[in-house]
Amino acid sequence: MAGTNLRLQDLNLTSLEQEKIHFHGQIQPHGVLFVLEEPELKILQFSNNCSTVFGISPEDILNSKLEDILDSYQVERLKAGLSEENLDFINPAKVWARKNGDDYVVFDSVFHRSPDGFLILELEPTISQENIPFLSFYHLARASINQLQETANLRDFGQIIVEEVRKVTGFDRVMLYKFDEDGHGAVIAEEKLESMEPYLGLHYPESDIPKPARKLFSSNWIRLIPDANAQPVEVLPVHNPISQRPLDLTHSILRSASPCHLEYLHNMGVGASLTISLIKDQKLWGLIACHHLSPKYVSYELRKACEFLGRVIFSEISAREETEDYDYRMKLTYIQSALIDYMSQEENFIDGLVKREPNLLDLTSAQGAAVCFGSNCTVIGETPNQEDLNFLLQWLKSNVNEEVFATDSLPRIYPDAERFKDVASGLLAIPISKRNYVLWFRPEVIQTVNWGGDPSKAFEATHSEGSVKLSPRKSFELWKQTVQLQSLPWKQVEIKAALELRKAIVNIVLRQADELAQLAQDLERSNAELKKFAYVASHDLQEPLNQVANYVQLLEMRYEQELDEDAKDFIGFAVEGVSLMQTLIDDVLAYSRVDLKGIEFELTEVETALERALANLGRRISESGAVITSDPLPTVMADSTQLMQLFQNLIGNAIKFRSQQPPEIHLGAQRLEDAWLFSVRDNGIGIEPQFSDRIFVIFQRLHTRDEYPGTGMGLAICKKIVECHRGRIWVESELGEGATFYFTIPVGRRERELRNGRKTHNNLFSRGQ
């Protein structure tokens, strides 16, 4: 049954959207129509009721001239007006025609040109010989505008429109109908007879006013159906004798409504209707819809007066909306400028989007956002988890090719999103490249929508002689629908702001790519120079230092009896300086070789690397009485020698900077989502937090060499080793309370494929006890 309803709904929309209602070749019977060839105003086509109205046979009308219907004086006056480009200056014009002898009929004449260039004259009977007094209408418009100035919201504005139009026209019901982005619409203001069923607040499906009808409303801003039960009359001949095409009645005021729309009016109990289009930014914003229970004719002048009144009042609505939009747009422009400044100032532009105020969320009034570059997603606010984000990114890469993608109902087009509807029923996405995205999320907002009848049964299909006829629904009773899996909609100004941010990010990424390319060249050159320096240091510098040390020591041995104590101290200082210089050179070599070595990471047991480090530190551990413990240690993708050096430096530092208590050092290991987190905790003298970054800088020391020997290279080497493994290192400490050094090593693919079983390790080292 659900499949049948779906197919019927698809049939409804397809049939209605393909209907060419402006080519039906029929008009309403209260007026007459002529298609004229200029400049002689020869009659090419005419409505079939002309013979009744004018008492002239169809044969005599065809190929005659307009002056045969109207007198030549009137025709000459009309021709003068037709010479102007803008036909509004002569619309409407009063004309009269003889009927059956000496009887005259007075008409309101309206000219327009069809899309294919033929002049069309439409005549409607004049029900009043007097024009609408200008001052009366001016006072009416002035009073309406005065009311607007005292009104703050859209609903009150709309109510003024419907009240004033009903006063002027006398229709039983006047409604202000606003279209949604999806083509559906809702009644947002209503003025009616008390006895009539209210439509205020009801929504109506797109099929009630299908695309062809909306297009005609955009072209012809005022539309009257004075009698919904009247039978239409044909335009003869069906095809224009010159163009051989059917008559295009897009701009016609007399064009007959489609049978489906007339049946729709019958089902609503409407005898006459007047519709005024409200256009904003060249798009159909909404309609002023007037309904009357019985037939009702409204003169062309009065219709135009209502159109003008509606447009004047609607211009105030548009101005208020534009002011609100402008204020919001200016706010978003400020946020956008701030984000661009932040991105430019940060080393990583993503930090500029998420770590300051205003941030990425403020740009679109979202509740969550994610910046996904490569395999890493930086999130802020409420977002799907990392796994769901990865699958969503794969879906976007396969299904979205636009510069921006926005939906307020992601689960309806990506069913897996139903799992995280509470945070991401709405999605706004901008691709920075094929692999990189910025995403904004909005949560589900459950709403109750009141429909004028069941929208899934907007039309009924009846089968007759192999064809399907569509009939509009007969019930317009309140039908409530609970809308789920939908967020608040994204505003166009928010989507535009996201696009502008995309341009800024692309520019920054391109600039950073150029800078990185230049930096890579500089680093390559520097590394080559550093490699040369390492060679010089290991050979050319070591040899002279050895000679200095040897000759100074030889001097001491040969002239020992002749040297006083000061001379012996001086020689000791020289030897000690040479030793320190040799140590410094060795440390510089170790630092320079960390990333110069062609490293191929392999599965490395951390326990083995630790044991090698402890063996190298055995003497210092024994002398200090250090107690070293560890958690069970994993297997990681790393260089075993560098990992040993890392542990050796960190544990050696913990021993060196010990307090008065024997050192207690613990090594921890914790599995994160995509990395291992290691820690080395001690009970030493600690570090002031303000120096937590400085200690990793090459040659930086917090103490003199007399207090603690060393070159200031140990932690710089640790930092370089960790960064070569694509990890990071940091310290948490307070002065006098010990220190904990943390570092991460990313999880490799081969490591993830290992069995879950791990060897455990929990050794107690207590040397010298």
8 A C-beta contact, residue 392 and residue 426? no
**10: CB partners within 8 A, 6+ apart:** none
189 in helix, strand or coil? strand
pLDDT (tens digit per residue) in 39-66: 888 999 999 988 888 888 888 888 788 8
In this prediction, residue 369 carries a pLDDT of 92
Categorize the per-residue pLDDT at 305 as very low, low, confident or very high, splitting at 50, 70 and 90: confident
pLDDT at residue 717 is higher than 60? yes
Higher-pLDDT residue of 574 and 420 is 420
pLDDT at residue 4 is higher than 60? no
Instruction: Report which of 585, 637, 608, 649 is spatially closest to residue 747, judged by C-alpha positions.
Output: 637
**Mean pLDDT value of segment 460-485:** 58
For the residues of 299-355, what is the DSSP string, one character each?
-HHHHHHHHHHHHHHHHHHHHHHHHHHHHHHHHHHHHHHHHHHHHHHSSSHHHHHHS
251 is written with which tokens? Answer: 């701009």
For the residues of 110-149, what is the DSSP string, one character each?
EEEE-TTS-EEEEEEE-S-SSPPPHHHHHHHHHHHHHHHH
Per DSSP, what are the bridge partners of residue 239? 246
For 668: left if phi > 0, alpha if psi spans -120 to 50, otherwise beta; the answer is: beta
Query: Distance between CA atoms of 503 and 494, rounded to whole angstroms?
Result: 15
Pairing of strands 368-373, 119-125: unpaired
Query: Distance between CA atoms of 633 and 366, rounded to whole angstroms?
Result: 42
pTM equals: 0.55
Instruction: Report which of 430, 451, 455 is spatially closest to residue 440, judged by C-alpha positions.
Output: 430
Higher-pLDDT residue of 436 and 131 is 436
List the single range of 137-141, 513-517, 728-732 with lowest mean pLDDT.
137-141
Higher-pLDDT residue of 535 and 760 is 535
Categorize the per-residue pLDDT at 455 as very low, low, confident or very high, splitting at 50, 70 and 90: low
List the single range of 62-71, 237-246, 328-337, 453-462 with lowest mean pLDDT.
453-462
Categorize the per-residue pLDDT at 11 as very low, low, confident or very high, splitting at 50, 70 and 90: very low
pLDDT (tens digit per residue) in 178-209: 888 777 888 888 999 999 988 888 888 877 77
pLDDT (tens digit per residue) in 144-158: 666 666 665 667 778
Categorize the per-residue pLDDT at 414 as very low, low, confident or very high, splitting at 50, 70 and 90: very high
Query: Distance between CA atoms of 26 and 231, rounded to whole angstroms?
Result: 10
In this prediction, residue 102 carries a pLDDT of 64
- With pLDDT > 90 as the criterion, what percentage of the chain qualifies? 15
> Which DSSP symbol is given to 737?
S
Higher-pLDDT residue of 326 and 535 is 326
In this prediction, residue 7 carries a pLDDT of 42
pLDDT at residue 130 is higher than 80? no
In this prediction, residue 755 carries a pLDDT of 39
In this prediction, residue 758 carries a pLDDT of 41
728 is written with which tokens? Answer: 């990071």
Pairing of strands 93-99, 103-113: antiparallel
